[in-house]
């Protein structure tokens, strides 16, 4: 069984969800969360991940992460074809046209989020600077982590839509549902439909830290103290109204702090509607800020649509208590990404090119049984195929011998089943075939015309052919075309000597006239022509 770790590298805390995966499915084995300290982001992240891995049983065969921070740029493109090869070829030019720097400085990948069969493809493209991605890969390598997938934080929820549609119970009839992950410094949005997948996603700055700052400003308290009070007593909407004047005053501050997120959410929903002609019908909240009491009710008022906090499947309840589930959703979705395969697996993975994943022996080792079964089946099919092929070939060989016998008997007067001996007899001096000429003017004309390259514009004014010499006169674009034509004709075994005559410009100066004198000398042919 493979163990898969979904690792959420949040700006406030690092979360990990561990799956144990097998052929039948998966089970949630462990969850842990470690707060990040203040100071340098590299050091705080390194220390938090190290503590997470050393203090909790999260050893895994496969690790999946989403790119942390707001460094990822998201674009939406519509390409006028559906062939993946054509998309791969054309997409770099589209991406480069949107960048203020050189394409060689970034890594990008895409996810198909919609298609019109044989017409067009809607793509979600994520772009990140190479130094940002290298920073993350090097940091995780220091901690002996080699993530198989580094994905887009919005595309992360693709498998939540596809594999766990039960979490959207009651919203199936909606034209679209938005998963809004409000973190500490960043908010990710994934819009899609249960059972269909993500159709639109983006990430922008803003989150719970803005609410803590608003509270700190309102009550003139230090930011750490305001943040602690928000986590312990904070509430919004009717929940705050029932807790007294100070709670209502704090709720008003939270509403002010929430405005940057709302200012980004509204145009995000409008952009989705403009592209798909469908309205977002409901919001499902997750992330650390979603633990704030009354936030779903507040967003329902502000966005004028149903909103609720996402609850993970029943399978995860024994490992993930309900109060921790909003914070754990991204890590859970990342573990789902590692467990998914085939059509259910999102394509998006920033581990491309020089950042490509180099393999994992331990992960492959867990698949040995399945690979052995595949190998045995393949060997059995090869053996059966060989038996059938030999039987068919034996019957075919008998038929060929019968045809050869009839042919030699008709021409030579005796039956011969040995192919090489029959050819030698047909070529012999005493055979009727010996009187046939080896070449003719028609054959030579056909060979010359077949060797004129299709991309060389040639107009032939005169063709003179006998069995020893071929003369071509005509015109073409330039001397380079004449050289190309000469080399092409020399490729025939009979045309090894090709002499060029005088080359002159035509009266209008646009073309040149030429003459080629081709000596015909055909050696005895012992194999295929070159």
- Name the pTM for this structure: 0.67
Per-residue pLDDT tens digits for 234-260: 999 889 888 888 899 999 999 999 999
Helix (H, G, I), strand (E, B) or coil at 235: strand
Judged against a pLDDT cut of 80, whether residue 205 lies above it is answered with yes
Judged against a pLDDT cut of 60, whether residue 219 lies above it is answered with yes
What is the predicted pLDDT for the residue at 361?
45
What is the predicted pLDDT for the residue at 407?
82
Average pLDDT over residues 129-155: 93
Per-residue pLDDT tens digits for 446-490: 888 888 888 888 888 888 888 888 898 888 988 888 888 888 888
Per-residue pLDDT tens digits for 283-305: 999 999 999 999 999 999 999 99
More confident residue, 357 or 178: 178
- For the chain, the average pLDDT equals 87
The DSSP annotation for 101-158 comes to S-GGGEEEEEEEEEEETTTEEEEEEEEEEHHHHHHHHHHHHHTT---SEEE-TTGGGH
What is the predicted pLDDT for the residue at 206?
93
Percent with pLDDT over 70 in the chain: 93
| Residue matched to tokens 């589930």 | 325
What is the predicted pLDDT for the residue at 118?
85
Percent with pLDDT over 90 in the chain: 50
Q: Rg of the chain over CA atoms, in angstroms?
A: 36
More confident residue, 453 or 365: 453
What is the predicted pLDDT for the residue at 408?
79
Helix (H, G, I), strand (E, B) or coil at 315: helix
Judged against a pLDDT cut of 60, whether residue 109 lies above it is answered with yes
> Helices then strands (H, E): number in the chain?
15, 18
Distance, first Cα to last Cα, the chain: 57
- Smallest CA-to-CA distance from 107 within 298, 335, 354, 287 is with 354
CA distance 273 to 461: 65
Judged against a pLDDT cut of 90, whether residue 358 lies above it is answered with no
Per-residue pLDDT tens digits for 487-515: 888 888 888 788 888 888 888 888 889 88
Per-residue pLDDT tens digits for 398-441: 888 888 888 878 877 788 777 777 777 766 645 555 555 667 78
Judged against a pLDDT cut of 60, whether residue 364 lies above it is answered with no
CA distance 452 to 466: 19
Compute the residue count for the chain.
530
Per-residue pLDDT tens digits for 62-102: 999 999 878 889 999 999 989 999 999 999 999 999 988 89
CA distance 80 to 120: 4
What are 433's two structure tokens?
A: 């075939």
């Amino acid at each position: 069984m493979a163990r898969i770790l979904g690792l959420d590298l949040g700006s406030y805390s690092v979360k990990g969800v561990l799956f144990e995966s097998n052929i039948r499915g998966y089970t949630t084995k462990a969850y842990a969360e470690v707060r990040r300290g203040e100071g340098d982001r590299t050091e705080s992240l390194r220390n938090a991940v190290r503590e997470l891995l050393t203090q909790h049983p999260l050893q895994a065969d496969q690790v999946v992460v989403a790119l942390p921070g707001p460094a990822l740029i998201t674009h939406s493109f519509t390409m006028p074809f559906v062939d993946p090869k054509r998309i791969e070829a054309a997409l770099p030019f589209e991406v480069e046209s949107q960048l203020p720097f050189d394409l060689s400085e970034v890594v990008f990948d895409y996810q198909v989020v919609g298609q019109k069969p044989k017409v067009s493809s809607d793509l979600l493209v994520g772009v990140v600077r190479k130094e940002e991605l290298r920073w993350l890969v090097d940091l995780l390598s220091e901690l002996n982590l080699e993530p198989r997938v580094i994905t887009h934080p919005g595309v992360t929820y693709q498998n939540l839509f596809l594999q766990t549609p039960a979490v959207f119970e009651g919203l199936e009839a909606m034209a679209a549902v938005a998963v809004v992950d409000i973190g500490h410094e960043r908010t990710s949005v994934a819009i899609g439909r249960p059972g269909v997948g993500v159709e639109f996603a983006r990430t922008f700055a803003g989150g719970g830290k803005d609410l803590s700052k608003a509270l700190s400003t309102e009550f003139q308290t230090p930011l750490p103290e305001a943040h602690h009070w928000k986590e312990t007593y904070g509430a919004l909407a009717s929940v705050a109204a029932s807790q007294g004047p100070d709670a209502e005053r704090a709720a008003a501050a939270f509403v002010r702090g929430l405005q940057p997120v709302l200012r980004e959410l509204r145009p995000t929903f409008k952009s989705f509607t403009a592209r798909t002609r469908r309205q977002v019908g409901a919001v499902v909240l997750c992330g650390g800020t979603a633990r704030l009491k009354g936030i779903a009710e507040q967003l329902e008022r502000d966005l004028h649509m149903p909103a609720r906090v996402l609850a993970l499947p029943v399978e995860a309840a024994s490992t993930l208590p309900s109060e921790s589930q909003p914070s754990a959703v991204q890590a859970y979705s990342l573990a789902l990404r590692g467990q998914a395969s085939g059509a259910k697996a999102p394509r998006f993975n920033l581990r491309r090119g020089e950042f490509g994943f180099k393999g994992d022996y331990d992960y492959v080792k867990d698949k040995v049984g399945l690979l052995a079964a595949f190998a045995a089946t393949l060997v059995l099919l090869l053996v059966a195929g060989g038996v059938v092929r030999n039987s068919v070939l034996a019957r075919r060989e008998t038929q060929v011998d019968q045809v050869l016998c009839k042919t030699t008997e008709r021409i030579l007067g005796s039956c011969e089943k040995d192919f090489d001996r029959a050819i030698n007899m047909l070529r012999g001096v005493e055979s009727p075939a010996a009187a046939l000429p080896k070449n003719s003017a028609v054959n030579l004309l056909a060979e010359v015309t077949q060797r004129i390259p299709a991309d060389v514009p040639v107009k032939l004014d005169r063709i003179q052919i006998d069995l020893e010499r071929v003369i071509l006169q005509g015109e073409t674009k330039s001397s380079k075309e004449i050289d190309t034509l000469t080399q092409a004709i020399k490729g025939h075994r009979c045309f090894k000597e090709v002499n060029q005559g005088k080359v002159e410009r035509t009266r209008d100066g646009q073309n040149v006239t030429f003459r080629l004198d081709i000596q015909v000398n055909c050696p005895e042919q012992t194999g295929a022509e070159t």
